[in-house]
Amino acid sequence: MKSLLLSCKNFNSKIKKLATRPASVIPEPIKQKIYQTDKAIVALVTVEDTDDIYETVPKLAKEIKIFSNDTQIKTIVLFPFGHLSNNLASSEDTIIFFNLLEKELSDYETIRVHFGSHKSLLLDIHGHKGNVRFREF
């Protein structure tokens, strides 16, 4: 699992169309098409084929909570982002991962962005020290 954690002033994403690559991708049902918030931690997350999701979810949740505490930001955006690796987990495992991560962060205002679609992405990142963190487990 690889993740970029970003401290953002503003976040916006819109679903443009469902993904067709890789060929094995199975998009989850669309519940909403537009996601937006201000003052949030955005977690761009790539779940990899070799990940033990039940071991990795608590580790990432802990890092997000530390970042939240450091920045005093209580809104978390969970954004599936398959662009950090060429060794992607299955659609099923990725969806399970994000569902578990969302539950681990239930004490926060959490926005879970759709898995399996092409999306526009607008990030307005704060300019403070430690505003971007890379994590790999």
Tokens of 61: 């949740």
Q: What is the pLDDT of residue 106?
A: 97
89-to-38, 80, 108, 110, 113 alpha-carbon distances in Å: 30, 11, 26, 23, 17
Determine phi and psi for 4, rounding to 5 degrees.
-105, 125
CB-based contacts of 105, cutoff 8 Å, min separation 6: 61, 64, 65, 76, 78
For range 33-58, the mean pLDDT = 97
Q: What is the pLDDT of residue 12?
A: 98
Overall number of domains in the chain = 1
Mean pLDDT for the chain overall: 95
Residue range of the domain that includes 118: 2-136
Residue 40's identity, in one-letter code, is A
For range 4-12, the mean pLDDT = 98
Flag whether pLDDT at 128 surpasses 90. Answer: no
**Which residues partner with 11 through β-bridges?**
37, 123
CATH of the domain at 25: 3.50.80.10
Flag whether pLDDT at 70 surpasses 90. Answer: yes
Burial call 33-66: b when 16+ CB within 10 Å, e when fewer: eebebeebbbbbbbbbeebebeebbeebbebbbe
Q: Angle formed by the axes of helices 53-71 and 91-104, to 10°?
A: 40
Q: What is the pLDDT of residue 61?
A: 98
pLDDT digits (tens, 9 = 90+) for 75-112: 999 999 999 999 999 999 999 999 999 999 999 999 99
Flag whether pLDDT at 73 surpasses 90. Answer: yes
